[in-house]
Amino acid sequence: MEPSAEIRLEQLGVVLPVASEPAAKYANYVISNGLLFVSGKGPAGNPRGKLGKDFTTDEGYQFARQTGIEVLAVVKEALGSLDRVKRVVKVQGFVNADPAFEEPHKVLNGFSDFMLDVFGERGVHARSVLGASSLRDLLPIVVDSIFEVITE
């Protein structure tokens, strides 16, 4: 049996922040039919800029990892414990990128790798990533995600 996601997070030295509030008129999350849908989140500190112009792929990878932390803060708020996550189902990343930037997939790996670090095999997910010409507040990345959850 895999270690608890809560224990893995502790072993990684990650302390989840309080979940950030939605940036507009929508819910932070919705639970329906055993699925938890988390609205788009960006990295902490609200960095501003484009990948390939203002930030490198490696910096984008770290922003994506930070975004994973922000997403898990919402998951914990929604469920009370990360151990109620059966699996990460789907991840969709939007990378604010210069038109010539060809590595949005490598940026989103920061999020995907973090999900694997926390959930192990339950963190393997389907995903898509898109380069975007603009994102809210000029964030470098926004990720929305779907989790299968243990319902009470």
Could you tell me if residue 89 is inside a domain?
yes
Q: How far apart are alpha carbons 68 and 64 in whole angstroms? A: 6
Could you tell me if residue 39 is inside a domain?
yes
Integer angstrom CA distances of residue 42 from 33, 58, 64, 137: 26, 16, 8, 10
Single pTM value for the model:
0.96
pLDDT digits (tens, 9 = 90+) for 51-96: 999 999 999 999 999 999 999 999 999 999 999 999 999 999 999 9
DSSP-derived secondary structure letter, 120: G
Q: Cα–chain-centroid distance for residue 16?
A: 13
Half-sphere exposure of 51 (CA within 13 A, CB side): 29
Amino acid at 38: V
For residue 138, give its domain range: 5-14+35-149
Could you tell me if residue 86 is inside a domain?
yes
pLDDT digits (tens, 9 = 90+) for 2-32: 779 999 999 999 999 999 988 889 999 999 9
CATH of the domain at 82: 3.30.1330.40
- Strand, helix or coil at 144? strand
Q: How far apart are alpha carbons 50 and 10 in whole angstroms? A: 32
Could you tell me if residue 10 is inside a domain?
yes
Into how many domains does the chain fold?
1
Could you tell me if residue 98 is inside a domain?
yes
Could you tell me if residue 25 is inside a domain?
no
